A = this chain, B = another copy of it.
Amino acid sequence: MKREAYFPEVVKQALSNIPPGSWMSAVPEGCIRLNSGYPAANLVPSTELKEATDRLLTEEQDLPLHYIGSPRIDQLKTQLIERMNERKMEVQEDEVLVTSGACQAIDLIARILLDENAFIIVESPTYMEALEIFQNYTKNIITIPIDADGLDTKQLEGILIERTKKEEPLPKLLYTIPTFQNPTGTTLSFARREKLIKLAKEYDFLILEDDAYGELAFGESPTTLKSLDEEDRVFYVGSLSKIVAPGMRIGWIAAHSEWIEALFWFKKDLEHPFAQSVMSAYLEKVNLAHRSVLLTEKYEEKAVILYEALIHFMPEGVKWYRPEGGYFMWIEVPGVDTTAMLAKAKKAGVAYVPGQYFFLHQDEGKSFLRLSFSYASKEEIKKGIEILSHVVAEEINK
């Protein structure tokens, strides 16, 4: 039986891309994990979640184990809205949809907006999972480079002007991680945020704002696009993966109620009452604003150690930005193929993610790599950069 024959064209097209998760290489035992975009093990509240589960099931018994019925399913939504309000984003109850992490949120937004004829704009580089998702819907992906101030809105405008002139289709959606971007760690400047919102109005596109790292600002917290959005063009995507635990799979979309209604239509995995209620019970005992401050302090300490280790150990020519929040640093090693180098690095005892996976046109990422300061300990970070610097130096001097 020829299985491919059963797939619609758009599915065949998607299946011809790089398989999902290709970027996630096996890491040998004992290797320092500067690749993992995970929260630090000691910052994952396993004891508190255990307590929350115990309290939940003692109080509610079977309720959170049915399809619906636990009052904490609604309560979780309220808790997320309260936190958004604190962060100066006005959101009502019918403007929020809880999802299985940011990934399902992104997939659902793509589902209601993109077909194979639609155009979408993404940052370059960008979050590899999001690239995978969009490529499941359309080939028409336009990339706009990122610099130290985030998405280059001048280039964006140039492309929009040119496409208009040439009567080429305009994009429907722009995907951005404006704050502490994955993988670059950069943040979109305020001026560019205003410009982006203006361009969206002018060229009639929608914005998917992925704010997975927004709670982790070392300095002042940047204004979200959502709070600048007067025309309901922004689909805001939040996540508790980075500030509570990714394994709970709790994310959400905040958008105009009509968008939410359409998104709900296509969300066919139903609610996740157990995970959602446990999370809600956990949040009853935790102030997210305080937790965010505490986590940020810890991550900043590690970011500084990473930054200083790079200065101390890395050979000349290697480049990076100073991180202002989030989980990541983005390193350029001019002239070196970071994909080829990974095997040597892992053998030497340190893992990273090669830059190519964050680019639609993978070749553009050959000389970059992503380092995460979230998961490894301070000692490991320092040691890891020392090891990596030797490997890099060898490659440069080859």
Binding site for B on A (CB under 8 A): 1, 3, 6-11, 14-15, 19-20, 38-39, 41-42, 44, 46-47, 49-50, 53-54, 57-58, 61-62, 64-67, 70, 99-101, 103-104, 106-107, 111-115, 117-118, 129, 132-133, 136, 172, 206, 231-233, 241, 245-249, 256, 258-259, 262, 264-266, 268-270, 272-275, 277-278
Contact = CB atoms under 8 A, between A and B. Distances in A.
Nearest to A138: B8
A57 B52 CA distance: 12
A367 to B, nearest CB: 27
A274 B274 CA distance: 10
A275 B99 CA distance: 15
A189 to B, nearest CB: 27
10 contacts: A11-B111, A14-B265, A41-B61, A46-B57, A49-B274, A53-B54, A103-B270, A136-B265, A249-B269, A269-B269
A113 to B, nearest CB: 6
B270 A249 contact: yes
A320 B367 CA distance: 70
A8 B111 CA distance: 9
A262 B20 CA distance: 10
A269 B100 contact: yes
- Complex copy number for this chain: 2
B231 A1 contact: yes
A282 to B, nearest CB: 11
A259 B11 CA distance: 12
B248 A65 contact: yes
B20 A136 contact: no
A268 B106 contact: yes
Contacts of A53: 50, 53-54, 57
Given A8-B115, A114-B8, A248-B274, A44 B62 contact: yes
Given A104-B269, A268-B103, A65 B47 contact: no
B107 A265 contact: no
B62 A133 contact: no
A195 to B, nearest CB: 20
Contacts of A241: 67
A59 to B, nearest CB: 10
Given A38-B66, A245-B65, A15 B272 contact: no
Given A103-B270, A115-B9, A268-B133, A65 B1 contact: no
A277 B132 CA distance: 26
A386 B118 CA distance: 57
A197 to B, nearest CB: 14
A246 B103 contact: no
Contacts of A106: 268
B247 A67 contact: yes
A213 B53 CA distance: 28
Contact of A264 (B20, B39, B44, B133): B20
A64 B274 contact: no
A46 B67 contact: no
A7 B65 contact: no
Contact of A7 (B7, B66, B112): B112
A269 B136 contact: no
Closest 7 interchain pairs by CB?
Answer: A8-B115, A247-B273, A100-B269, A65-B245, A104-B269, A107-B268, A44-B62
Contact of A258 (B3, B9, B245): B3
Contacts of A66: 38-39, 44, 245-247
Contacts of A46: 57, 61-62, 65
A67 B114 CA distance: 27
A269 B129 CA distance: 10
Given A6-B206, A206-B6, A268-B132, A246 B65 contact: yes
